Structure 1
Amino acid sequence: MSTASIEKQTIPSDQQTKTAYNILFIIGFCHLLNDSIQSVIPAMFPILEKSMGLTFTQLGLIGFSLNMVSSVMQPVVGLYTDKRPIPYALPIGLTSSMLGVLGLAFAPSFITILLSVIFIGLGSAIFHPEGSRVAYLAAGNRRGLAQSIYQVGGNSGQALAPVITALILVPLGQFGAIWFTVVAGIAVVFLFYIAGWYSRKVQAATPIKKMAKTTNTKQPAISKAVRNAILVIIFLIFARTWYGSAIANFYTFYAIEKFNLTIAGSQMYIFVFLVMGAVGTFIGGPLADRFGKRNVIITSLLATAPLTLLLPFTGPVVSIFLLALIGVILMSSFSVTVVYAQELVPGKIGTMSGLTVGLAFGMGAIGSVALGGMIDVVGLTPTMISVAFLPLLGFLAFLLPSDQTLREWQFNR
């Protein structure tokens, strides 16, 4: 008998299907707070460049350190907590971020800034896979919606960067980061509540796990079909993340050059893209619950492709509307990809969450460096035209197993 079958027999059916919305909204809010703290780092680049005389290379290293620590450690944390759940890792992670922000506010040198950023990256690496696991546990039979509620918090936090820059960092400078220790402190308080709920879930599941071990002592090896599906997911994440990185990091320069805008005016394009991306993240989950995860993943990339190919050839007004549509459609598959990966390898919720979300962070960091180099070599317009073809990689999503196939695999495990 499989572990899934044992759980169905042991857990009452109403507990399997009931969605804990209070937990989902709290963890989503904490995700917003966590990612708004992360958004402080790139938002501070102009401040640090002026106040400390940092070079663009040093600023690039700060961004690279933040994203790489977060991305590399996420699957490591997920792999460990899949075997040994640590409910109170969530408040511990945000405490690490709080210390990092405190260090950032008072950092006197480039090295201390790097160390502070590493603390923030480590806190984020702990939070993301465990937060995604909480969303999974609280989902009931609405896994797509649950992951959307969780992920939209993070996307909303990232979209706050322009607001943070204008309202806090510009008037207060580097010391303005101190206010985000308050943000982190609020998140820690909420996460202690979440950790208590999570701990009770783990205790309730312990008898089930023991029964599963006596019934099925060996985990089935990941089949070739599953490995191939994971490889396809990696390519899809690459396409979505590199295009998003091109817009978030470099479209502002493109808008200034092509439309003769000011820096403030060009920021509106990025803000619209990020905010509508958060909207897309939210609606993607319910759509996946209704129409299937694979269908949403396919549509997300392929429906975006005509818009991305048109964008470099439009004027300032049409461009902002296209960016809004691209943000909604492209990011509708963000949370869905996480749920799909979790169901592809059941029992490895933290690992697959860490892999998919961490991979997005890591590819975003690499993409930022690679695209910046490409712009230096061939220019802004050729680069924007080139990245517009990335969503066409969505054709690879047709190689993914259907949702029905995933359910059959889960039943037979």
Structure 2
Amino acid sequence: MLAARTQSKSTKSGEQKTIYSILFIIGLCHMLNDSIQAVIPAMFPILKKSMGLTFTQLGLISFALQVVSSVMQPAIGWYTDKKQMPFALPTGLTFTFLGVIGLAFAPSYTMIIISVLFIGIGSAIFHPEGSRVAYMAAGSRRGLAQSIYQVGGNSGQALAPVITALILVPLGQFGAIWFSLVAALAIILLVYIARWYSETLQTVAKQPKTLTDISNPSKNSKAITLALIMIVFLVFARSWYMSCITNFYSFYVMDNYQLTVSQAQVYIFLFLATGALGTFFGGPLADRYGKRNVILVSLLGSAPLAIILPFVGPIFAYIILAIIGFVLMSSFSVTVVYAQELLPGKIGMMSGLTVGLAFGMGAIGSIAIGSIADIVGLTPTIIAIGFLPLLGFLTFLLPSDQKLEEWYGTNIE
């Protein structure tokens, strides 16, 4: 609750300063963390060839990473809402550091799964607490702050094709060892963040605690429950489509366009790179035009392009995939902020729920899509998944930004 009190107190005093230095550092740490996670799907073509893995087994690797993060993130966010743990951030990256080393030396499929679980634990600890740091440093610009934080993660994910082409293709599985240095750098930066976080909490603790919890959702519990269900479906649509593209589209273009592994990774890089740009611009657009509006346009705007993508040639695929990435991911950080404002005072839990849900949905999607592709073929699977963004129509069932303001007054401004 201290983060919520900090934000509310600044509202009362009119001092809603955005601490950009903290936002940029936590965004950089998010990039480092997620670039390490990007190593895992980037290794799929390497592991498929060296270990003879099926699409289902590759999906299970992604599942191992994402399901741990999905299950743990909301629980960690819920706990740290009650008891802040600033130094959980560098602790989480220490788990990731150990997982990367294990991944580089893993002699078997089982050891790869175990190493990936360690990376998943590190991610589960980092994400809700990183989002809380962004919230605490946001001042009055929550959309922008969350975008700076989230764009770091999306930029890290966008590095996966580069990692594959420049490191993993020439060096193989052992090339992952270089990312132990990335994890070490993130740990050092997060120690600095943790100290700032701790000092901020100490400052708030010394102030008179005359404010009450800003969240009083009981009178709107049915509407909030419906909104949370709709958010689940919207995250499902975006995450399954993302999982399909990042995990399996490279195989699709290799089969249909007769491209090499390195050439196929260019498509994924464009998708993720423009997705990172979309994540950044989505927050400021939401601050100006409303969070629900950005979520709506994000999904429905990308739907027609996602549907026609499998039917175009290799050149047009570059353009269409880049546009899809930008439009679809413009709602990523916005969804987090919307959920946080749906239940004010539950910053860590709602961040863990939405981001963890994205990981979890992606985990289920990776194994389900892989299994479907093994049964019916990859091309029909890519075609079917293209219709998922049409679920964006469910955004009309979410309370508007104005409705949230009516529920909570100026506390969510």
Instruction: Report if TM-score (shorter chain) is over 0.5.
Output: yes
Match runs of 1:61-210 below 5 Å: 61-206=60-205, 210=209
Aligned-partner Cα distance in 2 for 1:233–1:313: 30
Residues 30 and 6 of structure 1: CA distance in aligned 2, closer, same or farther (over 3 Å):
closer
AA in 2 matched with 1:300: S
- The count of residues paired between Structure 1 and Structure 2 equals 411
Structure 1: gaps spanning 5 or more residues: none
Deviation, structure 1 residue 388: 1.9
Task: Report the aligned-residue RMSD.
Answer: 2.6
CA contact (8 A) 1:3 1:216 kept: no
CA contact (8 A) 1:4 1:410 kept: no
Aligned-partner Cα distance in 2 for 1:378–1:50: 21
Deviation by residue 1:76-103 (Cα, 9 ceiling, x = unmatched): 1101000001011101111111111122
Aligned-partner Cα distance in 1 for 2:203–2:122: 27
Aligned-partner Cα distance in 2 for 1:279–1:217: 32
Deviation by residue 1:300-339 (Cα, 9 ceiling, x = unmatched): 1111122122222222211211111111101000000000
Aligned with 2:210: secondary structure? Answer: helix
Identity within the alignment, %? 66
Structure 2: gaps spanning 5 or more residues: none
Deviation, structure 1 residue 399: 1.1
> Is 2:405 the counterpart of 1:404?
no
Aligned-partner Cα distance in 2 for 1:241–1:97: 23
AA in 2 matched with 1:350: G
In the alignment, what sits opposite 1:21?
A: 20
AA in 2 matched with 1:174: Q
Aligned-partner Cα distance in 2 for 1:7–1:29: 24
TM-score by length of 1: 0.92
CA contact (8 A) 2:23 2:137 kept: yes
AA in 1 matched with 2:356: G
Deviation by residue 1:370-407 (Cα, 9 ceiling, x = unmatched): 12222233333332222222111111101111111112
In the alignment, what sits opposite 1:289?
A: 287
Aligned-partner Cα distance in 2 for 1:94–1:4: 22
In the alignment, what sits opposite 2:370?
A: 372
CA contact (8 A) 2:217 2:224 kept: no
CA contact (8 A) 1:67 1:121 kept: yes
Residues 135 and 382 of structure 1: CA distance in aligned 2, closer, same or farther (over 3 Å):
same
> Is 2:264 the counterpart of 1:266?
yes
Deviation, structure 1 residue 113: 2.6
Aligned with 1:22: secondary structure? Answer: helix
TM-score by length of 2: 0.92
In the alignment, what sits opposite 1:381?
A: 379
Aligned-partner Cα distance in 1 for 2:285–2:19: 19
2:235 to 226, 233, 237: 237
Aligned-partner Cα distance in 1 for 2:381–2:390: 16
AA in 1 matched with 2:63: F
CA contact (8 A) 1:236 1:393 kept: yes
Structure 1 runs, 4 residues or longer, greater than 4 Å off: 2-10, 12-16, 49-58, 207-210, 215-222
Deviation, structure 1 residue 55: 5.6
2:309 to 308, 311, 331: 311
AA in 1 matched with 2:314: P
Residues 212 and 173 of structure 1: CA distance in aligned 2, closer, same or farther (over 3 Å):
same
CA contact (8 A) 2:279 2:332 kept: yes
